[in-house]
Structure 1
Amino acid sequence: MHSWLIGYDITCPRRLQRVHRVMVNYATPIEYSVFLLVGSEKDLAHCLAAINTRIDARTDDVRCYPLPTRGLQERVGCSTLPTGIQWSALPAGLWLG
């Protein structure tokens, strides 16, 4: 299993909604247009292929960054979850605070 951070900037609201609907099928939303995909390279390829059919490559921007397996994963600032609630679908380092 690998982890990737995928973010996008979509210029058309309609395409933005379509890309978001695709992304929630493959990855966990971290912010509105930033997702964490945990899976195989094949999972990543399927996700990016699905997104590619829904964007305009001339104006939209999709970026994917691999996260190191044993790298530091930290969250600072206000938690998006109530105190005492931990979402186990995220790697431990993202929800420990």
Structure 2
Amino acid sequence: MTAELAFVIGYDISDPRRLLRVHREMCKHATPLEYSIFLLVGSENDKKLCLLEIGSLIEPQEDDVRCYALPARGFQGRIGRASLPEGIVWTGLPAAIA
């Protein structure tokens, strides 16, 4: 059994058509936090597959894709307006970082 890890993946895509393709592909692998920022919860292989798929859609000289591993026991906080309505709790985070 592989441990669940969490990754934040963000991108800056220069072409609107590629941007839409990348966004659609990312939605297959991860949960959008903002339009171009996603949370991927899964294995190292899940991350590699996602980045491989995205890599086939971008132009490396024009676009930027970044992936950051979240620490298992890192601080989590939010400043500003809530992203979910009051009373709704998102339990999609792995127990180690929830």
TM over 0.5: yes
Q: Per the alignment, in what secondary structure is the counterpart of residue 79 of structure 2?
A: coil
Q: Larger deviation: 84-93 or 8-17?
A: 84-93
Q: How many residues align?
A: 94
Match for 2:91 among 84, 88, 91?
88
- Asked whether 1:77 is paired with 2:80, we answer yes
CA-to-aligned-CA distance 1:61-86 (integer Å, 9 cap, x gap):
00001110001111111011111111
Rounded Cα–Cα distance in structure 1 between residues aligned with 2:43 and 2:25? 17
Q: Is the 8 A contact 2:6 2:94 kept in 1?
A: no
Rounded Cα–Cα distance in structure 2 between residues aligned with 1:40 and 1:91? 11
Partner residue, 2:71: 68
Q: Which blocks of at least 5 consecutive residues in structure 2 are unaligned?
A: none
Paired AA for residue 6 in structure 1: I
Match for 1:44 among 44, 47, 70?
47
Partner residue, 1:2: 5
Match for 1:16 among 14, 19, 28?
19
Partner residue, 2:35: 32
Q: Which blocks of at least 5 consecutive residues in structure 1 are unaligned?
A: none
- State the superposition RMSD in angstroms: 1.5
Rounded Cα–Cα distance in structure 2 between residues aligned with 1:14 and 1:87? 31
TM-score w.r.t. the length of structure 1 is 0.90
What percent identity do the matched residue pairs reach? 56
Partner residue, 1:53: 56
Q: CA deviation at 1:91?
A: 5.2
More helix by share: 1
